[in-house]
């Protein structure tokens, strides 16, 4: 359903562009959509990991076709259309290079790979100069062989400007070298490695920093304590624990 007035949206989503053909066609002139950008002080994607994923069309699906693709050094993949940033709609069957996906996962780390946008170029053949389609896409899921850990297939989601995407954003812990609790001999109890947010495609964070510099023994940080771009919407309860400093009880030494 199209929300025609920006003030009808939740506070954190006011003025965000909800991407869909219907919304584009029916958008009211009274709605003003500011450009979304990364803000100072928040992590931005590292350009050294920018890479275009090469793909070729695949007309059929099924176990036999998938096996043939993997034997040829390609991973069977699907690029889903994003109608509202949440549900997959139309899809394009493609195959991508196994070695390229393996390299990207190893370079970025799995959770970082699954929360980063990539350009995807679909060509008639790998190495061909003609481009059938070029899209911005988010790796949503990658399956591995249970015994060999070899990648088996990849699912991608189109992420055009204005799309809202549910993403498990990785957490990076900082300040452990000055944490009072850790200096006292406490141990770091990491409860979450990622936290799920609804993110505009323009400003998907590569990670979220979790600052431990003021955390003492017995203290914890919850999801609501994390500092993120104001356009991100937390999809978990604000009180869910993220990390805690565990250790012996601090006792009063006075007699």
Q: Rounded CA gap, 105 and 180, in Å? A: 35
Structure tokens at 22: 């219907």
Task: Tell the residue number behind the tokens 């988010």, with chain if given.
Answer: 138
- Residue 163, Cβ density class (10 Å: 0-12 exposed, 13-18 middle, ≥19 buried): buried
- Note the Cα 254 to chain centre separation in Å: 51
Give residue-wise pLDDT tens across range 143-185.
999 999 899 999 999 999 889 999 999 999 999 999 999 999 9
CB 114: neighbour CB atoms within 10 A?
A: 21
Q: Rounded CA gap, 125 and 117, in Å? A: 23
The residues facing 200 across adjacent strands are 164
- Note the Cα 238 to chain centre separation in Å: 19
Contact residues for 188 (Cβ-Cβ < 8 A; gap 6+):
173, 176, 182, 212, 243, 245, 246
CB 59: neighbour CB atoms within 10 A?
A: 6
CATH superfamily ID and name for 47-158: Ribosomal Protein L25; Chain P (2.40.240.10)
Which pLDDT score, from 0 to 100, does residue 12 have?
A: 39
CB 79: neighbour CB atoms within 10 A?
A: 24
pTM (predicted TM-score):
0.78
Q: Rounded CA gap, 20 and 45, in Å? A: 26
pLDDT more than 90, % of the chain: 69
Q: What is the mean pLDDT of residues 194-208?
A: 96
Give the domain 164-246 fold: RNA Polymerase Alpha Subunit; Chain A, domain 2 (2.170.120)
Q: What integer best gives the mean pLDDT of the chain?
A: 83
Residue that wins the pLDDT comparison between 91 and 239: 239
Instruction: Map out the domains of the chain as residue ranges.
Output: 47-158, 164-246
Q: What is the mean pLDDT of residues 124-152?
A: 91
Which pLDDT score, from 0 to 100, does residue 247 have?
A: 82
């Amino acid at each position: 359903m199209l929300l025609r007035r920006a003030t009808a949206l939740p506070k954190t989503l006011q003025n965000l562009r909800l991407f869909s053909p219907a919304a584009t066609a029916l958008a009211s002139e009274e709605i003003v959509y500011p450009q979304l950008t990364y803000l100072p002080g928040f992590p931005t994607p590292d350009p050294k990991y920018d890479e275009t994923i090469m793909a070729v069309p695949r007309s059929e699906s099924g176990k036999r076709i998938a096996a043939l693709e993997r034997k040829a050094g390609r991973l069977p993949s699907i690029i889903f259309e994003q109608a509202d940033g949440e549900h997959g709609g139309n899809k394009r069957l493609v195959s991508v290079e196994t070695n390229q996906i393996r390299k990207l996962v190893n370079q970025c780390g799995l959770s970082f790979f699954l929360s980063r946008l990539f350009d995807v170029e679909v060509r008639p053949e790998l190495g061909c100069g003609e481009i059938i389609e070029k899209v911005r896409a988010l790796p949503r899921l990658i399956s591995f062989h249970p015994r060999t850990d070899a990648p088996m297939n990849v699912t991608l989601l189109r992420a055009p400007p204005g799309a809202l995407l549910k993403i498990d954003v990785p957490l990076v812990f900082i300040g452990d070298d000055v944490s009072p609790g850790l200096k006292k001999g406490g141990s770091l109890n990491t409860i979450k490695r990622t936290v799920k947010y609804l993110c505009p495609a323009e400003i998907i964070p590569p990670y979220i920093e979790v600052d431990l510099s003021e955390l003492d023994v017995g203290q914890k940080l919850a999801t609501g304590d994390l500092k993120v771009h104001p356009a991100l919407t937390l999809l978990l309860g604000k009180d869910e624990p993220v990390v805690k400093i565990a250790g012996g009880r601090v006792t009063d030494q006075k007699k």
